[in-house]
């Protein structure tokens, strides 16, 4: 108990130094947690992917389309239990900065393939009754203050012109990592207008979503689908939904790698900050440790005081940093909603931050401990303040 009191008193012997060190550690821990959360948010879509959904797209590039006639052929493959199609719309709402994902989907089948979307049955019925109806995510509705029955106009970029819609459904996610920022319009509304204005673009879709009964057969079914359209004018590439999502992450792999490197550097900063403080502390107290040894204190007691103080400072800084992380994460989520539909501090991030603080507390005390233990009593007593 007396040792704990000594550790506490020694920690705050220099209040300003201790306070600044704890504050620096808190900022570093918070930065580490936010960076780690940003990295995990890049992978949120892939983590939420269903193992029994495949995505079939053009083998050339995502910007190339596929004939909608492929859908019937794919549906006849053994092991396929459901299929739908989608097309990226890419419209602008008021300002190009107001980005959000927009897909023209088959109203009868698409939503059925996504059980993680929770939507009221009556809203689904309204969506199917009206061609220019849309279903949007709860977070997207909250972002623009939209509600059921609101009329929204988008200006097309890929599909030119003004497009008028009516919000008939708002879905919520069954899981925390479900994307609630997606706009779903009806494909037949898009296709009907294309047949009139741009006949060459009608009957084309961006991808097919294929539901399979057995996820272990995903590779075999994917090969079967692609073999069916091999050497055609529109060859396909079929992959799991997770792989499809990760292909987008790979486009920004350098950014993700950079963030991961920065998160490691932040740990180095924590170590330098605390290590410097502990080195100064040990240097100032060499004579005190010599007196303690003279009075009969064992080296183990000295080691306990130094390591205890270092761990105590690290614990305070880590705890403060984690407390600040959650409000900062909410601010980041609000500011980066366009890029990160899901921005959640994962438990593993908190565990890593705690372990990092503990490890830094131990490492920062290594050299001061060795110096205090190895310094002879006589030499230590010569250093009198």
Question: Domain limits of the chain?
Answer: 2-44+253-382, 60-234
Region 318-342 average pLDDT: 81
Is the pLDDT at 385 greater than 60? The verdict is: no
- State the pLDDT confidence band at 272, using cuts at 50, 70 and 90: confident
Residue position matching structure tokens 């239990």: 81
> Which of 247-252's residues contact partners 24+ apart within 8 Å by CB, and which partners?
248/45, 249/42, 249/43, 249/46, 252/42
- State the pLDDT confidence band at 372, using cuts at 50, 70 and 90: low
Which pLDDT belongs to residue 377?
A: 67
Region 165-171 average pLDDT: 96
Higher pLDDT, 314 or 295: 314
Number of neighbours of residue 302 by Cβ within 10 angstroms: 21
- State the pLDDT confidence band at 147, using cuts at 50, 70 and 90: very high
Q: Which two tokens stand for residue 339?
A: 């890029």
Query: 62-76, 225-239, 355-369: which has the minimum mean pLDDT?
Result: 355-369
**Distances 157 to 89, 127, 192 between C-alpha atoms, Å:** 8, 24, 17
Ranges of H-type helices in 58-179? 70-75, 121-129, 138-144
Is the pLDDT at 191 greater than 80? The verdict is: yes
Is the pLDDT at 375 greater than 70? The verdict is: no
| Closest by CA position to 88, among listed 170, 158, 137, 138 | 158
Which pLDDT belongs to residue 310?
A: 81
Q: 92 in helix, strand or coil?
A: strand
Region 193-212 average pLDDT: 92
Beta pairing, strands 183-186 & 102-105: parallel
- State the pLDDT confidence band at 296, using cuts at 50, 70 and 90: low
Is the pLDDT at 125 greater than 70? The verdict is: yes
Which pLDDT belongs to residue 314?
A: 85
Higher pLDDT, 212 or 286: 212
The Cα 168–Cα 293 span in angstroms is 79
- Name the CA dihedral angle for 293, 294, 297, 302, rounded to a multiple of 10 degrees: -20
Which pLDDT belongs to residue 347?
A: 86
Is the pLDDT at 1 greater than 60? The verdict is: no
Which pLDDT belongs to residue 345?
A: 84
The percent of residues in the chain predicted with pLDDT above 70, rounded, is 83
Mean pLDDT of the chain: 84
18 phi, psi to nearest 5 deg: -65, -40
Higher pLDDT, 50 or 235: 235
Q: Which two tokens stand for residue 311?
A: 């761990």
Which pLDDT belongs to residue 186?
A: 96
- State the pLDDT confidence band at 239, using cuts at 50, 70 and 90: very high
């Amino acid at each position: 108990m007396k040792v704990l009191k000594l550790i506490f008193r020694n920690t705050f012997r220099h209040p300003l130094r201790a306070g600044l060190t704890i504050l620096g550690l808190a900022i570093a821990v918070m930065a580490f947690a936010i960076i780690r959360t940003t990295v995990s948010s890049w992978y949120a879509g892939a983590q939420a992917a269903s193992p029994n959904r495949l995505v079939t797209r053009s083998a050339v590039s995502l910007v190339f389309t596929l004939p909608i006639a492929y859908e019937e052929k794919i549906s006849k493959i053994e092991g396929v239990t459901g299929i739908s199609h989608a097309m990226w719309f890419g419209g602008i709402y008021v300002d190009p900065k107001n980005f959000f994902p927009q897909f023209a989907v088959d109203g009868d089948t698409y939503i059925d393939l996504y059980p993680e979307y929770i939507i009221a049955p009556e809203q689904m019925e309204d969506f199917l009754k009206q061609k220019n109806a849309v279903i949007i995510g709860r977070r997207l509705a909250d972002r623009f203050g939209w509600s059921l029955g609101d009329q929204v106009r988008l200006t097309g970029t890929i599909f030119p012109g003004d497009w008028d819609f009516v919000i008939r459904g708002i879905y919520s996610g069954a899981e925390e990592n479900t994307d609630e920022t997606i706009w779903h319009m009806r494909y037949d509304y898009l296709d009907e207008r294309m047949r009139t204005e741009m006949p060459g673009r009608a009957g084309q879709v961006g991808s097919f979503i294929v539901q399979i009964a057995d996820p272990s057969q995903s590779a075999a079914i994917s090969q079967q689908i692609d073999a069916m359209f091999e050497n055609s004018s529109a060859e396909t590439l079929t992959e799991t939904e997770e792989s499809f999502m990760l292909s987008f992450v790979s486009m920004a792999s350098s950014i993700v790698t950079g963030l991961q490197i920065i998160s490691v550097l932040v740990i180095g900063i924590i170590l330098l900050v605390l290590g410097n403080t502990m080195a100064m502390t040990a240097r100032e107290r060499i004579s005190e440790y010599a007196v303690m040894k003279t009075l009969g204190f064992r080296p183990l007691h000295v080691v306990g005081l130094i390591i205890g103080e270092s761990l105590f400072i690290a614990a305070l800084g880590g705890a403060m940093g984690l407390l600040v992380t959650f409000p900062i994460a909410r601010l980041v989520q609000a500011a980066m909603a366009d890029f990160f539909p899901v921005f959640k501090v994962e438990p593993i991030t908190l565990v890593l931050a705690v372990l990092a603080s503990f490890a830094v507390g131990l490492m920062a005390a290594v050299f001061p401990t060795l110096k205090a233990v190895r310094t002879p009593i006589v030499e230590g007593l010569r250093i009198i303040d």
